[in-house]
Structure 1
């Protein structure tokens, strides 16, 4: 790495005099990051060394408070870099990412194994009840001590050295995995030539494929990219079966197309290293290690939930397949339904059963109005308000910015919305932060971003969404609220810093409000006429809310089971990831007509880092909470019930990880969750409620 710049020459190291101290994006160039990281790592190491070498006895203030306040420059530099690496990357940033990822991993690994620092933390933990701490401080001390133990602080020197090597290598591999998937998505296009290429596509989708072509320098042509928001509607509407098969085949083979972007060897090495990491830390499997700090606690508990849902979902999916086959025969198509046919014939069956088609719904779901509905819902629930700011710097012209204030007009947060697909952005949808919330030292308010990948409408036309797209807006905004409403003292427990199988609860419960008539009546206005969605159409949408739920549940649960099986291995020498995936799917009776939602070679949730590794089940675990939690509002007879909304905000959205999630849920709901609420929500048990969905 190069020598560090001075603050005068590097905007990442200088004081930010922008409004709300937002990153000065226009001044930041790729060459600023390496020296900024070097300076930030050095500053953080010095702070950690000073805490560890403090000759005075350990106190909460001189150890935990000091640790919580350390690394501010690194957080600021990293907040900008890692967000750009996901949302607006470039060859220059990707090269820096490959270099910085293992360095950052080693940096934090070294802190987690710092013997002097851990001795002070351990001394405090041994007398936690004598320190006169409040509940939040006790929670921070507990989680800090556990984090250091799980980072290898108690290991012998040789084991520490090996663990550090593993952590570095996993960071390198995860970065390469993610960049390989992005490369396949950016470089793989399916051209739609002539009338045959556009056969069956509605006007709005024809326009979207033309816009995608123009975005890729192919003006006047039509293409389908591997972005989910474009390829899924293509698979639903295209009557050209050969093109559907071609596009679908490319989509599900991301990461295993051979050449430099093939991820199969990366997965094999990552699984083996994760097994070794877990064994070094005293766990039989990586799943046991990861789940030890989750709500689920054990792999057996996770499989208990997955195995309860799987047979019901599979049986429903097989019924759905038979209905699709019957529809194909009715259409005089002498075919056997395959995976690339499912969405096409499912749309026909839905139209026949419910008189419903996406082309009728989409004009009522304009992106701008759905965003506003998400804001209005938060205003009615939590009293927060959103004012668009066009004077704040952003990292791309597409990005919009809002200031968030409370009911009294006080500044709470900044919210960035980045909604359109582009080749510099990884696929999917997510929430992240440029800056987290804290009160320690000073009151710091968060800067939160939602990143999505919708197909942009042609200039001058509104971008129209499917219902799944609209739910994704609400889902990711639920995550954003979790970050923006955070109201804790300590940064390590702020916002979304909660167990993985609880972090999806605030986002998934928020989806429910979209499907309610009280919200749809105000936001679902026709793009051309401005007329509200007719009640008859709304009724048909509600009646079809669990249509195709077997398919949706099978593709998701299959992915979660494969994830768990990879990480339940006690040995993973010379594993063939695709063959392993196939054996697991064969073992559970995966329908041949459905693929995993995320096949292993492009399963970025699990292999682009450790975030959802042995944790993809989390969406289903959290769905138990969201189904049961929203039922409280339904039982109250008011989906904006002020008392319930206040408890939801206080104990969930504002609380971060200041208490155990089971206690947090109980404080909101007044009891433990009812698992059957999940089955009812998905239409597998008794009464039905609306189906959840987002880019999972």
Structure 2
């Protein structure tokens, strides 16, 4: 997943930070901080301008970002109040260059705030959120500035701009209009208030949910309650006093351990802890949700739209909520029918095991695994020894990139990192030319947000002569001691997925940072990442990285066949849980400004029923509203559908590769040249069609899911 930053052209991610504090700085005020004392106030001297985490301290961020805001305010006012006639250079380029310090600092801060946060960073994040919203409004609601852009936009054909410069002008102008530049002065003030409130609320939601995830961890004191759970995993979760095992919660509704827990009562306990983590007590997010939804609806109405979804979808491939719902309607009947068939099959397995109870959500993965073993003779524990983390990354993910794009790598141990588990690699082109730096942060910890994501520390741009510095984050359970990190196949796919995002950023070749790499719409940005998952099971790649961690033996063909044969297993469940979450998102954001939500749970129940994704009793949504961080904290409001939309694109794209020779340098280079390197310089529909030769078709997706 690629997350999004709360202001300007950024993308909000989140990540860890060096928490050391120098005693001689503790008593100094922010105003006394000098460039020499605050490393963020000047560009890093490390290779590629990578953040120097050996120098950066928590207390550096706030003064650096405040100074960045002040610098940008000054620059924006100079552009807006200039007496010179507007030109592309003195208006568009000047604005593009106006936020260097703020952008550079915020990219590092939001990276750090997600993967290794603490009370200091959380307090800064909460305090700065409305300030970021305010500077965004100072730009896009500035009437004088907008008039300069409008003047240029209205005569764009006579400016003789190159294609990328013209696209930059058009993007800025559209952003001004979408942000409310045409509103009256009175309405602009209302909008500023809405934006400030939303910045505060979404930040609060993220913090509350992190606390809910940590507080919701389930402790078992009787080892019999954890029968069936892997011993190595239990070692890593044993309390220091040796009197129990604490199981942390993943962001999703279903929890990985439910697949192996023999004790039904324990499964129910863990599932309900996840289900109710944020709907009661100190970490209840329901009131925050109601206020976010209300303010978003009011904002949309002020901007002339019926609901927030209509406003939010303007610059996407889908364009309108009606198109998204039409897309859903083409999937829901087939998905729920397959899920019901799977449910019936699992219920038979329960009966065959001598049990007499109705299948519940906490039973699904446990008995589905039994069905999978029976039908496909595939046991997750059989395949995990072949998926050792470093092999998957270096001999799988990197190897696929070498075969397709000529990419090579070397590990860098001389680049400071923000947390001991983080690794750094330098990537190179086929001819040896430097491509950029790649950071990996794969292990879960309490200070890290749930899920997996990618973003930039440094964004590629020719204007600043910058190569990309990119990071990937996951939440793989860290093994105890020196035990190897063995991955599930889902985790393997996630690693390929996030590196697909990274490739999109590494191959960027844009003049302007605002158009660079992954700065595309939400319903396109997940396409390169999902497409990259296809190489995880590609024979040449799989056999190179799937090596037994003890013997070095290559994964046997029999196991490969089992993985492939089971590829469509449980896809009714998987698609239905995703559709349920996606529909929840759209339903929340199609609420009109005159409707007040009284009860979050009641709205959720009604929304699932209304969209007919609740017909299979034991299939809950992938995310409940109360812990749906994508849409209430992560920039995906009215955008979660994009994962399914881009799934359609990636299966269609892989179908092209299959019919054109598969994994070849020629195919990879063509895909890189025509898609991955283009950033947001072309209309995305045209970009895809030019490469593919046709519009995307949904049939390859249905076939891959076993629905056709």
In 1: Cα distance, 2:249 partner to 2:408 partner: 36
TM-superposed deviation, 1:2: 4.5
CA-to-partner distance for each residue in 1:307-357, whole Å, 9 max, x for gaps? 110111101001111111110111011111100000000000000000111
Partner of 1:139: 167
Give the Å deviation of 1:401. Answer: 0.4
Alignment of 1:448-597 (within 5 A): 448-571=470-593, 572-587=595-610, 588-590=612-614, 591-597=616-622
- Partner-residue secondary structure (3-state), 1:25: coil
In structure 2, the partner of 1:693 is none
Q: Which residue of 2 aligns with 1:651?
A: 674
Whether 1:164 aligns to 2:192 is: yes
Match of 1:678 in 2: 701
Q: Distance in 2 between matches of 1:556 and 1:462?
A: 32
> What is the distance in 1 between the residues matched to 2:107 and 2:401?
25
Aligned residue for 2:437, secondary structure, equals strand
Deviations 1:172-198 (A, max 9, x none): 110111111110112222223334122
In the alignment, which residue of structure 1 is the partner of 2:132? Answer: 104
What is the root-mean-square deviation in Å for CA atoms of aligned residues?
1.5
Q: Who is 2:688 aligned against?
A: 665
The answer as to 2:315 corresponding to 1:293 is: yes
Question: Unaligned 5+ residue runs, structure 1?
Answer: 686-696
* Aligned-partner Cα distance in 1 for 2:456–2:237: 28
CA distances 1:590-639 after superposition (whole Å, capped 9, x unpaired): 12211110110000000014x21111000111111100101111111x32
Counterpart of 2:455 (choices 414, 432, 442) is 432
**Structure 1 residue corresponding to 2:234, chosen from 190, 200, 209:** 209
2:398 is the alignment partner of 1:375: yes
Partner of 2:372: 350
Counterpart check, 1:628 vs 2:649 = no
Q: CA deviation at 1:231?
A: 7.3
| CA displacement 1:374-425 (0-9 Å, x = unmatched) | 1111111112221110000111011000111111212221110000000110
* Other structure's SS at 2:588 match: helix
Deviation of 1:645 (Å): 1.6
Q: State how far apart, in whole Å, the 1-side matches of 2:331 and 2:338 are.
A: 11
Q: Does 1:242 align with 2:270?
A: no
| CA separation of 1:391 and 1:230: change in aligned 2, threshold 3 A | farther
CA distances 1:33-59 after superposition (whole Å, capped 9, x unpaired): 221111111011111111112221111
**Inter-CA distance 384–361: structure 2 relative to 1 (3 Å threshold):** same
- Aligned partner of residue 413 in structure 1, secondary structure: strand
The change in CA–CA distance for 1:629 and 1:589 in structure 2 (over 3 A counts) is: closer
Q: Indicate if the aligned counterparts of 2:115 and 2:449 stay in contact, CA closer than 8 A.
A: yes
Q: What is the CA–CA distance in structure 2 between the aligned matches of 1:555 and 1:252, rounded to whole Å?
A: 14
Aligned counterpart, 2:352: 330
Q: Sort the Cα spacing of 1:119 and 1:60 in 2 relative to 1 into closer, same or farther, 3 A.
A: same
Range that drifts further, 518-527 or 20-29: 20-29
Aligned with 2:77: secondary structure? helix
Match of 1:612 in 2: 636
8 Å CA contact retained: 2:253, 2:623: no
Paired residues of 2:48 and 2:466 also in contact (CA < 8 A):
no
Q: How many residues align?
A: 676
CA deviation after TM superposition for structure 1 residue 254, in Å: 2.5
Structure 2 Cα separation of the partners of residues 519 and 574 of structure 1: 50
* Contact 2:49–2:458, Cα closer than 8 Å, also in 1: no
Say whether the 8 Å CA contact 2:407–2:429 is kept in structure 1. yes
Counterpart-to-counterpart distance in 1, 2:223 and 2:450: 29
Aligned to 1:689: none
Q: Which residue matches 2:215?
A: 187
Q: 1:642 to 1:19 in 2, by over 3 A?
A: closer
Task: For residues 107-138 of structure 1, give each alpha carbon's deviation from its aligned partner in whole angstroms, at most 9, with x where no partner exists.
Answer: 11211111121111111000010000111111
Answer whether contact 1:83 1:432 (CA < 8 A) is retained: yes
Match in the other structure for 1:89: 117
2:303 paired residue number: 281
Which deviations, in whole Å up to 9, do the C-alpha atoms of 1:272-328 show, x marking residues without a partner?
111111111111111111111100011111011111101111010011111111101
1:477 Cα offset (Å): 0.6
Within 1, Cα distance between the matches of 2:549 and 2:62?
Answer: 47
Whether 1:402 and 2:431 are equivalent positions in the alignment is: no
Kindly provide the CA deviation profile for residues 71-128 of structure 1, in whole angstroms up to 9, marking residues without a partner as x. 1100111111111110110011111111011111111121111112111111100001
After superposing the two structures, state which structure 1 stretch, 443-452 or 2-11, moved more. 2-11
Provide the residue aligned with 2:278 in structure 1: 255
1:3 to partner: Cα distance: 2.9
Instruction: Tell me the distance in 2 between the aligned counterparts of 1:15 and 1:523.
Output: 38
Please report how far the alpha carbon of residue 18 of structure 1 lies from its aligned counterpart in structure 2 after TM superposition: 2.2
* Cα distance between partner residues in 2 of 1:645 and 1:621: 22
For residues 592 and 676 of structure 1, the distance between their equivalents in structure 2, rounded to whole angstroms, comes to: 28
1:198 paired with 2:226, answer: yes
1:225 and 1:231 in contact (8 A); partners too: no
Aligned to 2:201: 173
Supply the distance in 2 between the matched residues of 1:431 and 1:7 (Cα, whole angstroms).
Answer: 30
The 3-state SS of whatever aligns with 2:474 is strand
SS of equivalent to 1:197? helix
CA distance in 2, matches of 1:455, 1:149: 45
Higher mean alpha-carbon deviation, 106-115 vs 205-214, is at: 205-214
Q: In the alignment, does 2:152 pair up with 1:127? A: no
Give the secondary structure class of the aligned counterpart of 2:591.
Answer: coil
Question: Partner residue of 1:691?
Answer: none
- Partner Cα separation in structure 2 for residue 289 and residue 520 of structure 1: 43
Distance 1:73 1:264 in 2: 36
Runs of 5+ unmatched residues, structure 2: 1-28
**Deviation of the 1:642 alpha carbon:** 3.1
Structure 2 matches for 1:265-280, cutoff 5 A?
A: 265-280=287-302
Q: Distance in 1 between matches of 2:176 and 2:631?
A: 23
| TM-score (normalizing by structure 1) | 0.95
Aligned equivalents of 2:243 and 2:419: distance in 1?
25
Distance 1:575 1:293, change over 3 A: farther
Partners in 1 of 2:527 and 2:571 — Cα distance?
20
- Structure 1 SS opposite 2:108: helix
Secondary structure of residue in 2 paired with 1:27? coil
Structure 1 pair 518–328 and aligned structure 2 pair: CA distance change class (3 A) = same
Matched, 1:53 2:81: yes
Give a deviation string over 1:434-462, Cα, whole Å, max 9, x none.
1111111x311111110100001122221
Q: Quick one: distance in 1 between partners of 2:256 and 2:68? A: 45
Q: CA deviation at 1:206?
A: 2.5
